[in-house]
Structure 1
Amino acid sequence: MAESCSSTRVAVRDLPLMADIGINPDEIGTLQPLVVSVTLLVDPVTQDMLGATIDYRRVHELALTLAGKRIGLIETFGAELARSCLAFDRVRQAEVTIDKPRALPSGMASVTISMSR
Structure 2
Amino acid sequence: MENEQALLTFTALAQATRLETFRLLIKHEPEGLPAGEIARLLAVPQNTMSAHLTVLTRGGLVTSQRRSRSIIYRADLTCVRELMLFLVKDCCGGATEICAPLIADLMPCCPPEKVSS
What TM-score does the superposition give when structure 1 sets the normalisation length?
0.25
Higher helix share: 2
Higher strand share: 1
